[in-house]
Amino acid sequence: MKIGLLDIDGHNFPNLALMKISAYHKSIGNSIEWVNHLSNYDIVYKSKVFTFTEDTPFFVGADKIISGGTGYDFTVKLSEEINKMFPDYSIYPQYKHAYGFLTRGCPNKCSWCVVPQKEGGIKAENDIAEILQDRKTAILMDNNVLASDWGIKQIEKITKLKCKVDFNQGLDARLIDAPMAHLLAKVKWLAPLRMACDTDSMIDSVRKATALLREAKCKPQNYFVYVLVKDIDSALYRVKILNSQRLDPFAQPYRDFVNNTPPTPISKKFARWVNHKAIFRSMTFEEYLKIYK
């Protein structure tokens, strides 16, 4: 069979599902390639992460098209056989890290997050050694690894393997107590240590977690904090406090994924101000709005 792959919005990140699909079809003797619009395929797999990404505008010649990913329909799942495959990194030769999940799901039910609907409560997924194979660095996409006993055991294993990791979805500051801070201090960080401050109620948790991490001599590149932007006054308050704590805020304008409602213009301006660090350090948001109306 001739199999085609379409990564709709993965321009800066490899698509783990497509890598596993590729590995599976190669294992049963099928040919795999990125879709050539002049070719015809037995099956084409299309993957889209974000609901707001435009679909491919061109005709896809295929007997069967399977569309998956949160951007299309988060109820579409990989089969257990495909999900257990080791990813085919050859289709993304530009990426040198390992990618995967130690855990899936999250026990929290934040109103802005699709993870509980998509993946349910937290559960074990993979061992770090299975994700790494022969690689020494890993991007781990767990949504709440600290909420899982399995996840914590995997972090302990990460410290013993001395591999570098990035928990790119962030760590829950509320779950970082003194023992956890000391464990995280033993991790070799590939990138910043990431947390989130999505509501005003999270400020004290982030502040306390940061103090414990610094006291434990945890030394990532820096401390990076996601900031959900719904109410501008609230987001501005959180950003100012985070900045005063020598933390690196990163603003994310709220988007209603259920109704696919785009972020407001003011929230997008706020994110541009926060995330463009040269501008953020040189002027207030009020000054920014006067210049960039």
Is 162 within 8 Å of 137 (Cβ atoms)?
no
pLDDT of residue 265: 94
Q: Could you tell me which CATH number the domain at 1-95 has? A: 3.40.50
Distance between CA atoms of residues 291 and 277, nearest Å: 16
pLDDT of residue 46: 94
User: How far apart, in Å, do the first and last CA atoms of the chain sit?
Assistant: 55
Enumerate the β-bridge partners of residue 252. Answer: 228
Give the CA count within 13 Å in the CB-facing half-sphere of 289: 11
pTM, 2 dp: 0.89
Integer CA distances (angstroms), 3 to 25, 41, 69, 264, in order: 8, 6, 18, 40
Distance between CA atoms of residues 185 and 132, nearest Å: 21
Task: Name the CA radius of gyration of the chain, rounded.
Answer: 21
Is 103 within 8 Å of 142 (Cβ atoms)?
yes
pLDDT of residue 257: 65
Is 206 within 8 Å of 172 (Cβ atoms)?
no
Going residue by residue through the chain (293 aa), what tens digit of pLDDT does each one get? 999 999 998 778 999 999 999 999 999 999 999 999 889 999 999 998 877 788 887 889 999 999 998 878 777 888 999 999 999 999 999 999 999 999 988 777 766 666 666 676 789 999 999 999 999 999 999 999 999 999 999 999 999 999 999 999 999 999 999 999 999 999 999 989 999 999 999 999 999 999 999 999 999 989 999 999 999 999 999 999 999 999 999 999 998 766 668 899 999 999 999 999 999 999 999 999 999 87
- Cα 159–Cα 219–Cα 240 angle in degrees, nearest 5: 130
pLDDT of residue 115: 65
pLDDT of residue 77: 85
pLDDT of residue 51: 76
